[in-house]
Structure 1
């Protein structure tokens, strides 16, 4: 397609944040769409020419690296840590980066498989590379009880550690705590509980710092990450005030980032912040779902730019639709990426397929194609080195056979007990630059839990 004018492109970006069906065709190379990673609890940063993201992986610490946000979804995971100690080798959650001197530190939560035994740990890099290698450094902030989601903050030049732990008379991570740090892997002295509102009683977790004009904002998640109302709230402490005095923390009323039913984003939270490559823009990375069902599955990493209000507080806006086309961060070099919708001429269909907009905001541009007829196929013609398929998974979906350039087929199960859209169902291998064909064949088969053999075609990201 011809490149859109700047004014028209900006208009479409705004519209697609509200209506995923506001436009069609390939997007410009200076844009991207969410998700940027298929996992949850992101710590995302830009450093020395590359983006890095670490997310919850369960049995390991993994990091993805890409020179452009547009290609982060297609980047390979590099596993930087597995643990042979059975007291901390599972339920590994919420890694968070910090750079101190010439070393990188990754803070994370792990257990022996029993949730109540979660404690916090820190890895240290061998050199000045965020990809490691890493070695185990220490257990951190162990006060003899459940503790998760810890990371350092800096206020008035002093380092502190903040985390989530049990509330007074409440179960689960319902209280935030803070303690001073003497070095990147050690807290010193006692802890202080920071009372935190949240619109619910379930959790106060994922405390993350944000800085502006000497003021430290502590943003945190509430209301259980499996629920659609998982959301962000915020406290702040003024320049010069002691953060170890609970009363010095100002509670900001109401959620600062929450579900957006109009764009099909539920449970936005457990986040991090990063600056654009040129340092002029502020961005938030968070996980969200495009199902309102209570589930811990299908949380994917999304990012969007935020601004600041006249009173000096952040304005995070509302979560954009997963497929909303956004401008890349300022200074991002971009990449030769594009997007193909299921209705675009690059997709041809053979056999019986249906199409429509009944899937609404669970689909890219509010439409998709689907078929349950054995032998029906969809062929995508694209120019690039890689392609990703994102579409609906549902309890009535079956098994597809996917091939590239007439090569061997890979079987992919599109079934899910929960209906959810724009899920990464397939990522092709890296291909030689040039013209390629990707074929999706309906096998007519399904796993025993599924009610039918339907396969959906929706959104194709091309790299």
Structure 2
């Protein structure tokens, strides 16, 4: 009898072991993460920070300073910008060419309270007159409001890309300016002690940043701390070149950064062009942590054309691991539109993509009427390596979806014309798809927030073009659909 019971128990355990686990049996860590897809923003020089579980992103806007805020990184492409400072409202000497904002939280010695500080470069319209400036938030909110605080580290010459770092318990200001020791020559990275979050004092030193892809420029210094060392990363080359890339020097977190012998240069590039993925000029970046604080990430800009141009640099993001040499380990940059798992602790959900080849008349499809062509000649410039295009007036592409908002991404080119876009058959909006040089996966148009449910978006070829364009082509590549109803995901 006992033998029979043991045999039955063994058989039961074998069945249980072989049975597939149910969702309740699996931990959340076993579930695949939702994804996001770049570009996150059409701007360059991204600075990203997570605070109170939200993402805050600043990029170069030229005539103003603005912050995008979102609960999930996947929402940044559709997040509304909040302008916190306008050049037109400021002193003419710092009213334009507003570049490379950086957002830091620090304690003010004036009131002992935490404030947010925006460091940025601006000029009067003459490039050589760029100087560094600081805004201070009135309270402890990264969205402000802000007041102008000071010009910082002004030595009387061109300077850009300033940010603070902390070494040995002391804050230092770093920036990019011409020539080692202010004697002319290639742009270098400088450092000076700070006595407040908006002022510097003491000796200025030029840091040992000789290693790089190109000799002429070192810019965009920013830092990350890991395993007792501060890694100061910087961009090498003119940012208009496809070879723009990232390098680093490092120092003990308790060291003296004014002692140049304590800095360790590193030969290995952290991030560089990836022609196979159509990624050129990756650089001018920032580091941020995942919402739960367990992962390091990088936000950087890049473009998908090898042409020498400052245009079409868009914001992307990637996870950071750590190599045995103590440097950030970042996978080669991937093409725009690549699925990237959300950072740890990001609540999602991500949007759902509709490719130009998802043809049909059902939900999450696109239907074509008129004269359209398609192919894969655009390679990594296009989502999934293919797109549709037409120059025949009256031809239409209609996206069908269930959701609350949609954005359209496609090619802009020298032969592209003007499209007319409508939601649910209502009033059309004209969108110019021209650009020079050619660039892909541009966020061409984003709908307003829509009532939950089924919708259509129709893109019509008008046959019209602006005077600079050589044609009237309209391109269809991908749509991103968000659904804000509880429990919905991409």
1:49 is displaced (CA, Å) by: 1.9
Confirm whether residue 106 of structure 1 aligns to residue 115 of structure 2.
no
Q: How does 1:58-73 map to 2 (within 5 A)?
A: 58-73=62-77
1:45 matched residue in structure 2 = 49
SS of structure 1 residue aligned to 2:204? strand
SS of structure 2 residue aligned to 1:176? strand
Q: How does 1:182-193 map to 2 (within 5 A)?
A: 182-193=195-206
Distance 1:383 1:128 in 2: 39
Q: How does 1:152-171 map to 2 (within 5 A)?
A: 152-168=164-180
1:233 matched residue in structure 2 = 247
Q: Which has the higher contact order (CA 8 A, sep 6+)?
A: 1
Q: How does 1:329-348 map to 2 (within 5 A)?
A: 329-335=343-349, 337-345=351-359, 346-348=365-367
1:239 is displaced (CA, Å) by: 3.6
Per-residue CA shift, 1:254-302, capped at 9, x if unaligned?
Answer: 4221000011100000000011111111110000001111100000000
1:146 matched residue in structure 2 = 158
1:143 is displaced (CA, Å) by: 0.9
Q: Is the 8 A contact 1:347 1:381 kept in 2?
A: yes
Per-residue CA shift, 1:216-257, capped at 9, x if unaligned?
Answer: 111000111111001101111124321011222111014221
Per-residue CA shift, 1:54-111, capped at 9, x if unaligned?
Answer: 1100110010000000111100111001142000000000000110132100000000
1:129 matched residue in structure 2 = 141
Choose from 164, 187, 190 the match for 1:177: 190
1:372 matched residue in structure 2 = 391
Q: Is the 8 A contact 1:272 1:285 kept in 2?
A: yes
1:461 matched residue in structure 2 = 480
1:57 matched residue in structure 2 = 61
Q: Is the 8 A contact 1:57 1:93 kept in 2?
A: yes
Figure out how many residues of one structure are paired with residues of the other and give that number: 437
1:321 matched residue in structure 2 = 335
Confirm whether residue 383 of structure 1 aligns to residue 402 of structure 2.
yes
Distance 2:316 2:54 in 1: 17
| Change beyond 3 A, Cα 1:369–1:126 | same
1:9 matched residue in structure 2 = none
1:32 matched residue in structure 2 = 36
Answer with 448-457 or 171-180: which moved more: 171-180
More strand by share: 1
Distance 2:257 2:183 in 1: 24
1:336 is displaced (CA, Å) by: 5.4
Q: Is the 8 A contact 1:104 1:130 kept in 2?
A: yes
1:341 is displaced (CA, Å) by: 0.3
Q: Is the 8 A contact 1:104 1:125 kept in 2?
A: yes
Distance 2:270 2:36 in 1: 24
Q: Is the 8 A contact 1:172 1:203 kept in 2?
A: no
Q: Over the residues paired in the alignment, what is the CA RMSD in angstroms?
A: 1.5
1:284 matched residue in structure 2 = 298
Distance 1:171 1:444 in 2: 52
1:393 is displaced (CA, Å) by: 0.7
Per-residue CA shift, 1:394-445, capped at 9, x if unaligned?
Answer: 1111110001111111111111121111111111111112111000000011
Choose from 55, 78, 82 the match for 1:78: 82
| Change beyond 3 A, Cα 1:170–1:30 | farther
2:259 matched residue in structure 1 = 245
Q: Is the 8 A contact 2:222 2:286 kept in 1?
A: yes
1:311 is displaced (CA, Å) by: 3.2
2:368 matched residue in structure 1 = 349
1:462 is displaced (CA, Å) by: 0.8
SS of structure 1 residue aligned to 2:309? coil
Distance 2:258 2:237 in 1: 25
1:439 matched residue in structure 2 = 458
Unaligned runs of 5+ in 2: 1-22, 24-31, 108-113, 360-364, 483-490
List 4+ stretches of structure 1 deviating above 4 A: 169-173
Q: Is the 8 A contact 1:29 1:335 kept in 2?
A: no
Choose from 306, 309, 314 the match for 2:320: 306
Distance 1:423 1:171 in 2: 38
Distance 1:173 1:337 in 2: 44
Answer with 299-308 or 247-256: which moved more: 247-256
1:173 is displaced (CA, Å) by: 6.5
SS of structure 2 residue aligned to 1:56? coil
Q: Is the 8 A contact 1:198 1:254 kept in 2?
A: no
Indicate the structure (1 or 2) with the bigger Cα radius of gyration: 2
| Change beyond 3 A, Cα 1:39–1:178 | same
